[in-house]
Amino acid sequence: MTQQISTGFRTYLNDGTANDTIGHFKLNADFLRSYAGTKPKFGFNGLGEFVFYRTYSRVKKDGAKETFLDMAIRVIEGCYEIQRLHCKKFHIPFDLDKAQKSAQEMFQRMWEFKFLPPGRGLWMMGTDFMWEKGSASLNNCAFVSTDDKIEADPAEPFCFLMDMSLLGVGVGFDTKGAGKVRIKRPDDIIKPYMISDSREGWVDSVRSLIHSFTTTNNEGSLEFDYSLIRPANAIIKGFGGKAAGPGILQELHELIKNHLTRRIGSTLSSVDITDIMNYIGRCVVAGNVRRTAEIAFGNADDFAYSSMKNPIATLNKDEVGKFYECTQKIYSSMRSEATLEDFNGSGIPEERLVPAIETWNALNHHRWASNNSVFANVGMNYDKIGEQIAANGEPGLIWLDNIRDYGRMIDGRQPGIDGRVMGTNPCCEQSLESYELCCLCETFPANHENVDDYMRTLKFAYLYAKTVTLLPTHNARTNHVMLRNRRIGLSQSGIVQAFAKFGRRKMLTEFCDAGFQEIKRWDSIYADWLCIQKSIKVTSVKPSGSVSLLAGATPGIHYPEAGTYWRTVRVAKDSVLVKILSDAGYRIEPSITDKDRTVVVYFGVTDERVQAVDEAGIWQQMANATDYQRYWADNQVSCTIKFKQNEAKEISKVLEVYEDQTKGISFLPHTGHNYPQAPYIPCTKEEVDEYNKGIRDADYSEFINEALGSKFCDGDSCELS
């Protein structure tokens, strides 16, 4: 079992050698008074404000929901309190007046959407949960390798993923532990097991279950008692949101138990590892307030792994159309599981049909929980991978040697500069060692007046991310890596907007190249003051998600779906949000897929400064990604390149041309979202302008005790839905 450190993190930072005469850091009351009763300029014609209340507004102790002002105060004061206590613990000078001025400027730059902490930080920074449980919940993402001592503890990689996922952290994993753990039949003994009502209790139950099929099989089978687990919809006071009840945990236990029983006598395969991780992801997603993000990494020549999401791998070419014709009928009947009877009359032989059905069912049941990618090598043949990507958008690729031997590409090869890296987070923007977590902070260059303004913002975005590294997590192995590396990721969103505003050349040289040097300068200054290591890497480009919507920025380095479009959002029919948005004049209609429980809200968005994604080919998108890998990101650039059908044949060529200039990339077919109530529906500027004339400011004062909790994942797979 992974060693857990003490959970008294405020006590950990406060060494108790003297009375604390200052008390918790607070922003100046006169400063805050000028913001009372106001709100920032949210992005995208009301969408940004809606996203804030739906996703990041916590319930306060008095029962009211946070305004953006409340949230910003909590975040800024929590950040500077971590600094204060760190200095107190190590007897380092802390100038309260200087800190107050610094905190006020950080607040102002958040308020003006020049930068924002990650969604994790907006939700958790400054909360009691952070002080009690540590900094894991403040971090975006993590990675764990199954090659990391899995023989000694076969359950640990799975439990790490589950633990961090339940805290909202996206987790990557590899399949390098395949063939190292043998599955054994538990002895014919029943061993009662009472599950405690906590995150730790859930994780430990999975640990014990996996052990019962591996290291402790001689102790017999476990009989779980779920009676202590709180019922569904009970309020979770610490983390926030509502409990899911014991049912989803019971289902997870059954899935793992049945899977391992089928594999008794065999060793864990790459498919087994991925499936068990996906069962866990499915459980976390079903937990009502939480979303999880997973990415799996396997070998490019592992056919069993690479075909996990390809149900047609066993079919002949003339059978593929018949297979999809049948599955479309299953979808239209709102089912997610197929049977042999569904394919009566298809003429597909059973020996090829059965594995195709099993793969299709698994994909719809749990294999959707991870993006599956492969380790690539410079010089390899990309033809087969290009064909797979053209068929279903996977796998993505990372070049691990490039990650280990390069920071920014412009700085040249530096062998072993990050030599312990084993993989990346789910969106591939962070280089990560096994058990390492990372904190990313998002900047919005297009929301600045000039380069000097942006350089000033970089100081505070850096300071927020670096501050998170001062507070340990609850996991000792994670702390061993994080406190050594102090890895952070300052990101940019609205990049294509900034290209349009400042010019591409100026962005790459003055904002990116010079900006990177400015961050490194601040890293030297603050590492010296705080008596800690410089960060091993400091910059990246995350794909972004709901955070960029608050600021009115396009996500990361990606192009928008259109210059003018309807952005649809699904909301529970009985939510008070429906009345609030209806009173403000928004178009609301029943969801065509769930008329009884869900409605769809339309937001009209216009941003004609930038190209739409269907106007930017795969070569242009790849050039943007590699230029940002060259001039900005010493970690990685997360970029999902959207390709049109006539560009599919170019994928292998793109990979061959850019393999030594990038660290990771993924592709996705551009479907055009040409179906009813799609997330993005292109329309005319005149339509949006006329629509927005009838929209009034939404009054969210009624939105009490409706906190859904942050979805936390900032990737394309976890977009606002």
Catalogue the long-range contacts made by 191-195 (C-beta closer than 8 Å, 24 or more residues apart). Answer: 191/219, 191/220, 191/221, 191/222, 191/223, 192/222, 192/223, 192/225, 193/222, 193/223, 193/224, 193/225, 194/225, 194/227, 194/228, 195/224, 195/225, 195/226, 195/228, 195/229, 195/246, 195/249
SS3 594: coil
* Active-site residue, selected from the candidate residues 427, 428, 439, 683: 427
Give 653's DSSP letter: H
Give 341's DSSP letter: G
The amino acid sitting at 477 is R
The residues with which 351 forms a beta bridge, in sequence order, are: none
* Active-site residue, selected from the candidate residues 294, 319, 429, 436: 429
* Secondary structure (DSSP) of 16-61: -SS--SS-S----HHHHHTTTT-----STTTHHHHHIIIII-PBPT
Determine whether 429 is an active site residue: yes
Q: Are 454 and 495 in contact (CB under 8 A)?
A: no
Closest CA to 696 of 547, 581, 611, 593: 581
Give 161's DSSP letter: H
Q: How far apart are CA 462 and CA 516, in angstroms?
A: 11
Question: Crossing angle for the helix pair 68-89 and 451-468, nearest 10 degrees?
Answer: 60
Give 635's DSSP letter: S
Angle at CA of residue 583, ends 580 and 584, nearest 5°:
90
User: Does the N-terminal peptide bond of residue 186 adopt cis geometry, omega within 30 degrees of 0?
Assistant: no
SS3 535: coil
Q: Are 420 and 413 in contact (CB under 8 A)?
A: no
Cite the active site residues: 427, 429
